[in-house]
A and B are shown apart, each in its own frame.
Chain A
Amino acid sequence: MDSQTPKKATGTVKRHRLSTRLWHWLNAALLYTLFTSGLGIFNAHPRLYWGQYGANFDAAWLELDRFPGWLTLPALYNLAMSRHWHLTAAPIFAFALLFYMLWSLANRHIVRDLAFRRDDLAPRHIWQDIKDHARLRFPTGDAALRYNVLQKASYIGVIFILLPLIILTGLTMAPGMNAAWPWLVDLFGGRQSARSLHFIAAFALVAFFLVHILMVLLAGPVNEVRSMITGRYLVPEERP
């Protein structure tokens, strides 16, 4: 979002920065690859444990059937290829997040658009926002050019909690990284705990994705998608 918008926003405005748009579509491709290849890897041992160790004789907290071929990359079970896809996409994804965070600090995207303002956090304001969401009353005019408090909370949660969590738990599963950074295993309480958290974080991202898509569809998919491609956004007219 650009803050240099006129007082009364009408017509089309420049909405999303280039950094945000690039990162958004790169992420779409990478997260898709990571999720589907990740399910392929999970299929090699579809059981999850808590703690340092966990194998067939140990108690699993979750035991699933293999995910079907239409959800996995590659479609036919091939652990080596799933790993190649996953381990190629993962470092690109991790460094892109790091770069995006630094870029967004530098161009003040985080401070200006993502950080909560004092009045965002007033209980009355949060309650109003929840009611608006529940009634699918999407903001218009100037308000449509700012993230509302629920949006901010979900973007902050994804960018600063969920994505770092999924990267760090992924690294924790690497035996080489355990030797390099043993504190990672301690942080998550063991390699098998990290594997479980990695899986939970992946499905939390899927939940975010589904809500995200739903919101785009409800708020006007053409306008929203265009604003993420070209940056131009048609400001919804104020309600009379």
Chain B
Amino acid sequence: MILTRRHLLLGATATLAGCDRLGRNEAVREALFSAENFHRWAQRSLMARDALAQEFRPDQISPIFRANGTANPNTPAYKALWRSGFADWRLPVTGLVARPLSLSLAQLQAMPHRTQITRHDCVEGWSAIGKWRGVPLKSILEAAGLSDRARYLVFRCADDMGGGRSYYESIDRLDAFHPQTILAYALNDRPLTVANGAPLRLRVERQLGYKQAKYLMGIEAVATLDGIGKGKGGFWEDYAGYDWYAGI
């Protein structure tokens, strides 16, 4: 039997086409999408609840911190906020809380903060190291009196992803109360630029970049992700099939 390059190419293409077809089968898709649950379970079994993501020295910071995703929300509402230096911007904290809050940037900046030099890992494969300063989410949730019924925190963003759909993300209580989970207003000792999510973005350091929601416009505590967007817990989860648990 003589195997030519052409045969090999045809074979490879046919096998991959078979895999593609498998990937469209509902049962196979369900199996492939459920690997996320295994990884979440395995990683959380292996790590302490408050195990910290690595922190770095100042000399390890990326010379340029790459901005990705929306570079500027550019909506009339966002532009108006930006023109006033975000003086009129407020962060509502609502949902399953005893005391709903509406925080200004000045109020957030007056709260005890945490500074951390961490690595941002994009789902695409690149990494950038930056120094973030912000308010631990835990202290905001404690101030708002988070209900025991709340299982997830949903982050609403200013960027319009087309068709009137805004970016959003969500995390569970475990990550919400993690010491490195902060609402960051500064990167590398400067106020957040528009490209990096001004005026405020989420940092949830044990997960990938798409969880680090930019342009925060509100936080809502909920018992379930059903009924929010398409129910998968985030914009890319809803529309691109990304995993909700992005620890891998």
Contacts and interface: CB of A to CB of B under 8 A. Distances in A.
Given A88-B32, A176-B43, A70 B9 contact: yes
Interface residues of B, number: 55
Given A71-B12, A179-B206, 16 more contacts: A33-B19, A53-B127, A54-B127, A57-B62, A58-B63, A73-B23, A74-B20, A75-B17, A80-B240, A81-B23, A84-B243, A87-B243, A88-B32, A176-B44, A176-B207, A178-B54
Interface string A52-91: 1111111000000000001111110011110111011001
Contacts of B3: 217
A44 B35 contact: no
Interface in B122-145: 122-129
A73 B12 contact: no
Nearest to B180: A179
Interface string A209-233: 0000000010001000000000000
Query: Which 3 pairs of residues, A with B, have the shortest CB-CB distance?
Result: A176-B247, A180-B47, A80-B241
A191 B121 contact: yes
Contact of A45 (B52, B60, B125): B125
B119 A53 contact: yes
Interface string A144-186: 0000000000000000000000000000011111111110010
Given A91-B38, A176-B207, A191-B127, A73 B241 contact: no
A15 interface: no
Nearest to A92: B35
A184 B63 CA distance: 24
A178 B126 contact: no
30 contacts: A33-B19, A36-B19, A49-B126, A52-B127, A53-B129, A54-B127, A55-B122, A58-B64, A70-B13, A73-B19, A75-B16, A79-B123, A81-B241, A83-B242, A84-B23, A84-B35, A84-B241, A84-B243, A85-B32, A91-B39, A174-B39, A174-B247, A174-B248, A175-B53, A176-B43, A178-B53, A178-B119, A180-B46, A180-B51, A191-B121
A178 B208 CA distance: 12
Contact size class for A? 35 or more
Nearest to B66: A55
B124 A45 contact: yes
A235 to B, nearest CB: 23
A109 interface: no
Nearest to B44: A176
Nearest to A86: B35
Interface string A119-148: 000000000000000000000000000000
B1 A221 contact: yes
A108 to B, nearest CB: 31
A190 to B, nearest CB: 8
A192 B129 CA distance: 12
B51 A179 contact: yes
Contacts of A191: 119, 121, 127
Interface of B: 1, 3, 9, 12-13, 15-17, 19-20, 23, 31-33, 35-36, 38-39, 42-44, 46-47, 51-54, 56, 60, 62-64, 66, 119, 121-129, 205-208, 236, 240-243, 246-248
Contact of B206 (A36, A52, A83, A175): A175
A62 B170 CA distance: 35
Given A55-B66, A71-B12, A175-B53, A91 B19 contact: no
A87 B208 CA distance: 15
B46 A52 contact: no
A54 B125 CA distance: 9
A80 to B, nearest CB: 4
User: Considering residues B51, B66, B125, which has the most beta carbons from chain A within 10 angstroms of its beta carbon?
Assistant: B125
Contact of B66 (A56, A84, A177, A182): A56
Given A74-B20, A75-B16, A84-B241, A52 B47 contact: no
A36 B16 contact: yes
Nearest to A82: B23
Given A79-B124, A91-B42, A177 B247 contact: yes
A36 to B, nearest CB: 6
Nearest to B211: A175
